[in-house]
A = this chain, B = another copy of it.
Amino acid sequence: MYYLGIDLGGTHIACGVVDADGRIIAQAETETKAERPYQEVIHDMGVCALRAISEAKVAQDDVKSIGIGIPGVANNDNGYVIFCTNLGWTDVPLRDELQKVINLPVYIDNDATVAGFAESVAGVSKGLKSSVFLTLGTGVGGGIIIDGKPWSGAHGVASEIGHLTLLADGLPCTCGKSGCVERYCSATALIRMAKETAAQNPDWLAFRRIDSDLNRISAKVVIDAAKEGDTLALDIFNRFVKYLTLTCNTIVSFLDPEMIVLGGGVSHAGDFLLEAVRRELPNYLMFKALPYADVQLAQLGNSAGIIGAAMVGKIHTEGA
């Protein structure tokens, strides 16, 4: 049996045929062109999905379901996307529209939840009953796996870990609150701190290397400099690690999963980041003598979107 996974992004749509073990058999891609009416976008998703099935050389009857990861919130009772900010979608009947092209059961979930589930089926948290996935990118997203299943909450809005309050009355957040995790643990946070450092230290070597151009400051610039031992970059990195580790501790204190998986752009810092978080975490634990969540880097990269979406479809049609 096979399961179709669709990773719906703001610029690209990626479709893949995935086997029961979470291996991608074939995949296809198309542009989103999100400015079009949603009917056209969804039609193209269906056509792209059919191409992936054709590439996979499997009978369409052997494909059991379609799972879709979206950067937004969905309602699986009626198959609607409730909203999806960077596509400009509100109350879009994604399931109905897609079934006009491929008549299979359709299930939709948040992209970070889907990526976390992918890791727990075929990635670093494979086989674990409980894990929490963190995407450290422009923002911070989360995915929760409990009892081997994704947990999206009672109203589909769980695992918005980027919007837990980490510093009450702290930096204003795009969500309207202040001091959210996302303000301190994202690539955006690294860039903000680096811009402040550059403003105060115009001779900062790491800054001069990018021609003292504030627009060229990226998470990678900061982390690469920190890896080389640049003192100012290390100071930024250590502050970032402190906040990220406090967030990991909050995950341990709240849910106590078997594993915390770090994904997203910032996680490309690799072992440098992982080992810093692992070093710091025991300092914050409430129960220092007890075992606690292993912290690991995500393994599946961009494939997580397709694999996780396909596996969400599988679990909805067949159970855990």
Q: Which of A's residues lie within 8 Å of B, judged by CB?
A: 73, 82-83, 129-130, 142, 144, 146-147, 151-161, 163-170, 175-177, 179, 184, 242-243, 246-247, 249-250, 252-258, 283-284, 286-287, 289-293
Contacts and interface: CB of A to CB of B under 8 A. Distances in A.
Given A129-B154, A292-B157, A175 B255 contact: no
B154 A258 contact: yes
B154 A257 contact: yes
Contacts of A169: 167
Contact of A257 (B153, B159, B177): B153
A134 B42 CA distance: 43
27 contacts: A73-B290, A129-B154, A130-B153, A130-B154, A144-B255, A151-B255, A153-B255, A153-B257, A154-B258, A154-B293, A155-B256, A157-B252, A157-B287, A157-B292, A158-B253, A158-B256, A160-B253, A161-B254, A163-B286, A164-B164, A164-B254, A165-B246, A167-B169, A168-B246, A175-B286, A176-B284, A177-B286
Contact of A164 (B147, B253, B256): B253
Most chain B CB within a 10 A radius of its CB, from A82, A146, A157, A242: A157
Contact of A157 (B82, B157, B250, B286): B286
| Binding site secondary structure of chain A | loop
Contacts of A290: 73, 82, 155-157
A159 B254 contact: yes
Contacts of A164: 164, 250, 253-254
Chain copies in complex? 2
A174 to B, nearest CB: 10
Nearest to A168: B167
Contacts of A255: 144, 151, 153, 158, 254-255
A250 B162 CA distance: 10
A208 B157 CA distance: 47
A260 to B, nearest CB: 11
Given A165-B166, A284-B177, A256 B153 contact: yes
A291 B169 CA distance: 25
A73 B206 CA distance: 48
Nearest to A246: B165
Contact of A155 (B83, B158, B291): B291
A140 B257 CA distance: 21
Nearest to A75: B290
A175 to B, nearest CB: 5
A-B pairs with the 8 shortest C-beta distances?
A: A153-B256, A158-B256, A160-B253, A154-B258, A167-B168, A164-B250, A163-B253, A175-B286
A254 B184 CA distance: 17
B165 A256 contact: no
A63 to B, nearest CB: 29
